[in-house]
Amino acid sequence: MFRIISALALALGLSVASASAVADTVKLADNAPDSYTVVKGDTLWDISGKFLKHPWLWPQVWRLNREQIKNPHWIYPGQTIYLDRSGPYLTTTPPSGDGGTVKLKPQVRAEDLSPIASVPLHRIEPFLSRPLFVSENDLAGSATIVASDDNRLLNGPGDTIFARNVTAGVSDWQIYRRAQPLKDPVTNELLGYEAAYLGSARVVQDGSPATLEVTSVQREVNAGDRMLPAGKQEIMSYVPHAPDRKVEARIVKVHDGIQYTGKYSIVTISAGRAAGLEPGHVLAIYRTRGDAKYDMDGKNETIALPEERYGALFVFRVFDRVAYALVVESGGPVKVADAVRQP
């Protein structure tokens, strides 16, 4: 239990868009409530959808500055969010109701300060910290297991392994094996390699090679497998927001070994940091309808049909040339080669 001053923080550094500009782009959800009290288990996407038809437009109606919008650690269970329909705006301060000014006073509240996540964390936790994707540069710089104690072919927890290129001072490592290449489904350009996560190890003695103890395994660990420093799990507290610049990408892979997927599934897309993506970005999904043959009225034509927008992705982990995203809206099966771009 902690104590926070909530309302006073909202009175400072506010950045308010004009009501007319917001109204041009934001549409309220059908039967949008006047207020909603956040409960444990809510996600920012769920809360956005209660008020807005398009949840990723939430930052446009919050009376907050950009950094607060991107990293909203002030949203917790027990807080009430109000809808001011004059904007529309969303705020944690009740609207005055008469067009006047509401005087903000510091309010001290004791509560469990576990921030509200953007999307269901249990869906994406396995993808947050493991080395899911490696580039050619990653491969060149990876540590490599060169031998094991007693020349074991298979190694498990408690076994000793030896590896070269282990950075001195880094104690915890993740073991992986290069899996299949990831290629752009349209251009066939190599983006990098999926990494098959094998387990973890901890350095017990620096050197060349270094000595490590295997601490966990999900698959057998052998000589020739690679290692990268263990990453820290990212805190998923970003409000959904659209990219600031144009993004053109494709779905490269649908996870879980299936060809098609739907809502709350994980996909890999062919754009990352180099394209300006960051965790919290929302992208729309488009399906190509293909061509239609028209051979009536004495004509024989091939007509390219327009794309169909049918869903949305929430980006939660970004590498240089690819990103991992959760399907948060889907009006049909999501498949490899479908296009993704700004909503």
Task: Give the position of tokens 């996540």.
Answer: 117
Does 242 reside within a domain?
no
CA atoms within 13 A on the CB side of 246: 1
Does 30 reside within a domain?
yes
- Please give the residue range of the domain that contains residue 277: 248-341
Q: How confident is the model at residue 251 (pLDDT cuts 50, 70, 90)?
A: very high
Residues 34 and 62 in one domain: yes
The tens digit of pLDDT for each residue in 197-242 reads 899 999 999 998 999 999 999 888 989 999 988 866 555 556 678 8
- Domain end among 95, 122, 149: 122
Q: Is the pLDDT of residue 178 over 90?
A: no
**pTM of the model as a whole:** 0.72
Residues 219 and 265 in one domain: no
Q: Look at the chain and report how many structural domains it folds into.
A: 3
The tens digit of pLDDT for each residue in 127-142 reads 776 777 888 777 777 8
Does 325 reside within a domain?
yes
Does 236 reside within a domain?
no
CA dihedral 164, 170, 176, 182 (to 10 degrees): -100
Cβ density class 297-309: b for 16+ within 10 Å, e for less: eeeeeeeeeeeee
Residues 139 and 71 in one domain: no
Q: What is the CATH number of the domain that holds 302?
A: 2.40.10.410
Residues 116 and 145 in one domain: no
Residues 117 and 71 in one domain: yes
The tens digit of pLDDT for each residue in 41-78 reads 888 788 888 998 887 777 777 765 555 555 555 567 88
Residues 313 and 209 in one domain: no
Q: What is the mean pLDDT of the chain?
A: 78
Residues 56, 15, 50, 29, CA torsion sign: negative
Residues 114 and 171 in one domain: no
- Domain end among 75, 96, 122: 122
